[in-house]
Structures are given as C-alpha cells and as structure tokens.
Amino acid sequence: MAATDREMNPEPEKLQFRLDVPFPSPRDASIALGSLSPDREPRKGGIDKQLMVTDRTLTVRWSADEARILRVSVNSFLDNLSLVLETMQMFAPPASQ
C-alpha cells in the first residue's frame, strides 16, 4: 500500500504568497518598510509574514496553515499599504529621479 503525502509528511504544506511592491526610490521603499514592519500578526501561530527591501522594491512573503488566515492577513496588509501610500503621496516630497 502506498503512503499518502500526509503519512509521509504529517506536517501539511504551508500556503505561500509573495507580493512585490515597486516604489519610485529606495528611500520610499524603506519608509514603507518602516511603517509596515511594526504590525505583527495578531494570531500566535498559523501564519508568518516577512518584509524586506531590495533596491526600490518592498517584498512581502507570507506562509500560512490555512487559506482563510492567509487571506485575512494579506487583506489587512493591503489596507495598511494603501494608507501608507496615500500618506506618502500627501506629505512626502517627490522622489528625485
């Protein structure tokens, strides 16, 4: 009898999601990272979120046990990202080219 994936690996595969957000400048990407990094996941397990900046791109990676948890976390992050972008447009000086 063949073993199922679950029998061979009792820890089910986590769901993965990656988002790359380009910014006009590395400074803007760093400002967004600083604004979004303090927000930890309210749940004590089931999800992991990592943020990093490379050049002028903010990269966010999620790993979750359940699709529902992943969806809630991504939606919450996008709401916060939208607010950060609006604030940067209103108050930040234009990025130098």
CATH number of the domain bearing residue 20 = 3.30.310.50
Q: What is the pLDDT at residue 63?
A: 94
pTM over 0.85: no
- List the domain range (segments joined by +) for residue 77: 14-91
Q: What is the pLDDT at residue 13?
A: 86
- For residues 95 and 26, what is the distance between their CA atoms, to the nearest angstrom? 9
User: Quick one: tokens of 83?
Assistant: 């607010």
Number of domains in the chain: 1
69 within a domain of the structure (yes/no): yes
57 within a domain of the structure (yes/no): yes
DSSP structure class, residue 2: P
From the number of C-beta atoms within 10 Å of its C-beta (0-12, 13-18, 19+), residue 73 rates as: buried
Q: Residues 15-30: pLDDT tens digits?
A: 999 999 999 999 999 9
Ranges in the chain, pLDDT < 50? 1-6, 8-10
8 within a domain of the structure (yes/no): no
Q: What is the pLDDT at residue 91?
A: 87
2 within a domain of the structure (yes/no): no
